[in-house]
Structure 1
Amino acid sequence: MSDSIWGPVTVFTGDLRPLPPEGQMTGMYKTRCDSPVFCGPEGLEGDRQGDRRVHGGPDKAVHLYPATHYVRLTELMPSAQVPLVPGVLGENLSVAGLDQAEVCIGDVFALGDARLQVTQPRRPCWKISHRLGVDQASRLVAEHGLTGWYFRVLQTGQIAPDANLTLQERPAPGMTLARLWAVEQAHRPAVEEMRRLAAAEGLAAQWAQRLSNRADWLERNG
């Protein structure tokens, strides 16, 4: 990367609310934080997730969604029923100028007093379609690689509004999230590529196991 500091970062948290039309509980409705918020081992104070099977936990403690993705989402989904602006997809952090093509698996960033490590992309779920009122929204996010990503918390601490995100360590150079997502979406990805990505330091254990299992299957089945 040519620059290792990005900001200011907008911080969002939210409690659970029913998601129309069926009323499933979700934590996608976020409010911008205008005062410092504490980042603990499982995320930001005051933030909740509706389905802990697929959101939250140590490897998905904090979600960042690149602010610039919303320009592309607006082009792809002109019929969206809500404004496509930072915070609407339920992210905790929003920043411009940084996306999956630049960020690598295992990257460690400082944000305020906290230290965060990139663990995995966010797999878009059906709740995105319901939130935006666009039937194919989740599929479009996946197909165009507009996923954002999750962090684990290496060091807890306060995050002030409009803090900067500073890259501190890169244990897996070249192993970008875009590269990982391309393998995730491919019908028959190269086994060698899957093994390299699975071994990347910092990758969430579930993703590493998934990649290894899929590589094993492809080797056995030609």
Structure 2
Amino acid sequence: MIVKSVNIGEKRVVNYKGKIVETGIFKSPVNAPIFLGEEDVVNDAVIDRRYHGGIEKAVYAYSEQHYEYWKALYPNLDWNYGMFGENLTISNLEETTIYVGSQYKLGEAIIEITQPREPCSKLGIVFGTQKVVKQFWNSTKSGVYFKVLQTGNVTKDDELVLLKKAKNTPSISEVYETKKLPKK
């Protein structure tokens, strides 16, 4: 698993369907390393700390391979890494084969898998429709949150190296499936 893109976002205020919304979901690739801090990525906007950032959700990663699935559903969007609000776009990041509690070395940092992402209406703002939130819930393409055990810089082309595989813990997709909304 290789970092394909490191992504940072600034606070944005958007008018969505007549409502003013503050968000940090709009992230874009940067050419410099990003620093994984204990509770967030330095210089990355985290607006609602009830749901984003903090020890258990310091860094969000999404699989490069999942982009093709979403591009087929939304071909008219202007696609770039960071579309899902992820700090790290990683090749071959597969939720069915990574486990809560597993630890990895990434660049200078050591990180631990904590949980899948649960989508919110901000994802719908990026995609221009709230329909994507239900589609995201009904997929296994949740992405992964990490806690940071050792802070440090991460850059494009760094490799996610397994240090310690968690034993007797669920995969990210197994955790995510227990939180899914019912299909209609």
Q: Give the Cα separation in 2 of the matches to 1:165 and 1:126.
A: 30
Equivalent residue for 2:60, pick from 63, 66, 75: 63
Per the alignment, residue 142 of structure 1 pairs with 137
Report the CA distance shift for 1:171/1:135 in structure 2 as closer, same or farther (over 3 A): closer
Q: Aligned to 1:23, what secondary structure does the other structure show?
A: strand
> How many Å separate the matches in 2 of 1:179 and 1:95?
20
- Single out whichever of 50-59 and 165-174 deviates more from structure 2: 165-174
Please give the secondary structure, in 2, of the residue aligned with 1:185: coil
Q: Does 1:87 align with 2:82?
A: yes
Give how far 1:47 is off: 0.7
Selected match of 2:101 from 106, 116, 123: 106
Aligned-partner SS, 2:162: strand
Is the contact between residue 77 and residue 134 of structure 1 (CA under 8 Å) also seen in structure 2?
no
Structure 2 residue aligned with 1:185: 180
Runs of 4+ in 1 over 6 A off after TM superposition: none
Q: Which has the higher strand share?
A: 2
Shift in Å at residue 173 of structure 1? 5.1
Corresponding residue SS for 1:38: strand
**In 2 relative to 1, CA 17–107 (structure 1 residues): closer, same or farther, beyond 3 Å?**
same
Using the TM superposition, give the Cα deviation of residue 14 of structure 1 relative to its aligned residue in structure 2, in angstroms: 1.4
Q: Aligned pair 1:31/2:16, yes or no?
A: no
Matches within 5 A, 1:211-222: none
In structure 2, the residue matched to 1:171 is: 166
- Cα distance, 1:165–1:9 mapped onto 2, change above 3 Å: farther
The number of residues matched between the two structures is 180
Measure the CA separation in 1 of the matches of 2:96 and 2:80. 21
1:155 and 2:131 matched: no
| Aligned equivalent of 1:132, options 127, 132, 153 | 127
RCO comparison, higher one (Cα < 8 Å, 6+): 2
Given that residues 9 and 164 in structure 1 are in contact (C-alpha distance below 8 angstroms), is that contact kept between their aligned partners in structure 2?
A: no
Cα distance in 2 between the residues matched to 1:37 and 1:49: 15
Q: Secondary structure at the match of 1:44?
A: coil
Q: Which has the larger radius of gyration?
A: 1
Q: Distance in 2 between matches of 1:186 and 1:24?
A: 24
The alpha carbon displacement at 1:76 in A equals: 3.0
Shift of residue 159, structure 1, vs aligned partner: 1.6
Give me the TM-score of the superposition, normalised by structure 2. Answer: 0.89
Stretches of structure 2 lacking an aligned partner (at least 5 in a row): none
Aligned to 2:44: 47
Q: Deviations over 1:6-64 (max 9, x none)?
A: 11442111120123423311111213221222221112211121211111111000000
C-alpha change, 1:111 and 1:98, in structure 2 (3 Å) is same
Instruction: Tell me, in whole angstroms, the C-alpha distance in 1 between the residues paired with 2:179 and 2:33.
Output: 36
Query: 5+ unaligned residues in a row in structure 1: which ranges?
Result: 1-5, 188-222
Give me the whole-angstrom Cα distance separating, in 2, the residues matched to 1:24 and 1:55: 15
Are the aligned partners of 1:105 and 1:119 in contact in 2 as well (CA < 8 Å)? Answer: yes
How well do the aligned residues superpose, as a CA RMSD in angstroms? Answer: 1.8
Range moving further from structure 2, 8-17 or 168-177: 168-177
